[in-house]
């Protein structure tokens, strides 16, 4: 009888040891929620926006459009929007080339090793998000007319919501969805993620500033010029955000490409400790 009691007590002790504490369980689910919110919350927001997007797209486009009094109607344009249209993409490409140069130099120059993973994320985000997804796949084949190509604003095509693609219009270029210029402006989100991984507030704020300046500025410019509908620029921003998250996960979490060097990454769902912060 006494032996049975001892065995039962040992089994209870083993169960207690294997049981996950409530605090650890809560922290695990809290971390998972934070990680998933980064991609899921924008998806939910876009899902809510989508049914109303045709009305909102036309309202916003009409706001910037001046109907024809004598001659032809026109969209808004100024020195600021024209400058961003001409040079916004070029500046983004220049920073992409800089990231590639830093990555290549990090192999012979030991001082640059710590930035190897960060610049790789930036380069992959630019190549996959702006180059492959936005310009080579979606813009080329989606077949959505631009605002200035639509009948309501002086064009000859029928308005088409962004969720109704037409894959048979390559003979008559209709490349409104998504915006290539805006995708280049939101490429700097990869710097925000790199700053978060390295615990560098300066790098994070730099990425946030460039994203606001070029991403937000190009959103305004392309919509005001009649080059894109509001849903086009919003989807371009979301595509770049999801691409940046994927590339960050691929390089830092999965350790893809066998990239070595740099500090141990800080999980995106946690707060960096004070001694982990680095200056740029």
**pLDDT at position 25, please?**
46
Instruction: Measure the CA–CA gap between 278 and 202, rounded to whole angstroms.
Output: 9
**pLDDT at position 258, please?**
59
Instruction: Measure the CA–CA gap between 46 and 230, rounded to whole angstroms.
Output: 12
**pLDDT at position 145, please?**
93
List the chain pLDDT tens, one digit each, 280 residues. Answer: 555 554 445 455 554 444 445 544 444 444 455 667 777 888 899 999 999 999 999 999 999 998 877 557 789 989 999 999 999 999 999 999 999 999 999 898 888 888 889 999 999 999 999 999 999 999 988 989 999 999 999 888 999 999 998 887 665 678 999 999 999 999 999 999 999 988 889 999 999 999 999 999 999 999 999 999 999 999 999 999 999 999 999 998 877 665 555 555 555 555 444 444 444 4
List Cβ neighbours of 184 (8 Å cut-off, separation of 6 or more): 88, 89, 92, 93, 126, 130, 214, 218
**pLDDT at position 27, please?**
47
Neighbouring C-beta atoms of residue 273, cutoff 10 Å = 9
Phi, psi of 40 (to 5 degrees): -80, -40
Phi, psi of 108 (to 5 degrees): -85, -25
**pLDDT at position 18, please?**
47
**SS (HEC) of the chain:** CHHHHHHHHHHHHHHHHHCCCHHHHHHHHHHHHHHHHHHHHHHHHHHHHHHHHHHHHHHHHHHHEECCCCCCCEECCCHHHHHHHHHHHHHHHHHHHHHHHHHHHCCCCHHHHHHHHHHHHHHHHHHHHHHHHHHHHHHHHCCECCHHHEHHHCCCECCCCCCCCCCCCCCCCCECCCCHHHHHHHHHHHHHHHHHHHCCHHHHHHHHHHHHHHHHHHHHHHHHCCCCCHHHHHHHHHHHHHHHHHHHHHHHHCCHHHCCCCCCCCCCCCCCCHHHCCCC
List Cβ neighbours of 201 (8 Å cut-off, separation of 6 or more): 195, 277
Say if pTM beats, i.e. exceeds, 0.95.
no
Give me the residue label for tokens 């849903």.
231
Answer yes or no: are the C-beta atoms of 29 and 190 closer than 8 Å: no
* Cis check: omega of the bond before 102, within 30 degrees of 0: no
**pLDDT at position 56, please?**
96
Q: How far apart are the first and last CA of the chain?
A: 69
**pLDDT at position 9, please?**
52
CA distances 48 to 51, 160, 235, 240, Å, are 7, 19, 13, 19
**pLDDT at position 26, please?**
46
Strands 65-66 and 74-75: antiparallel
């Amino acid at each position: 009888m006494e032996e049975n009691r001892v065995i039962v007590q040992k089994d209870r002790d083993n169960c207690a040891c294997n049981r996950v504490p409530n605090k650890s369980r809560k922290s695990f689910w809290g971390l998972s929620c934070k990680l998933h919110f980064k991609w899921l919350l924008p998806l939910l927001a876009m899902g809510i926006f989508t049914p109303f997007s045709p009305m909102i797209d036309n309202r916003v486009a009409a706001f910037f459009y001046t109907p024809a009094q004598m001659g032809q109607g026109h969209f808004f344009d100024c020195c600021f929007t024209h400058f961003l249209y001409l040079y916004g993409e070029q500046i983004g490409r220049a920073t992409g080339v800089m990231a590639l140069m830093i990555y290549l130099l990090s192999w012979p120059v030991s001082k640059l090793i710590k930035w190897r993973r960060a610049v790789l994320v930036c380069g992959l985000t630019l190549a996959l998000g702006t180059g492959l997804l936005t310009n080579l796949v979606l813009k080329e084949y989606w077949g959505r007319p631009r605002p200035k190509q639509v009948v309501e604003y002086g064009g000859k095509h029928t308005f088409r919501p962004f969720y109704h693609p037409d894959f048979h219009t390559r003979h008559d270029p209709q490349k409104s969805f998504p915006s290539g210029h805006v995708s280049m402006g939101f490429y700097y989100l990869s710097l925000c993620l790199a700053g978060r991984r390295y615990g560098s507030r300066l790098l994070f704020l730099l990425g946030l500033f460039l994203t606001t300046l070029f991403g937000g500025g190009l959103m305004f410019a392309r919509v005001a010029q009649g080059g894109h509908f509001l849903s086009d620029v919003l989807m371009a921003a979301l595509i770049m955000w999801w691409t940046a998250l994927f590339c960050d996960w691929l390089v830092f979490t999965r350790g893809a490409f066998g990239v070595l060097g740099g500090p141990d990454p800080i999980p995106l769902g946690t707060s960096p400790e004070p001694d982990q912060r680095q200056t740029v």
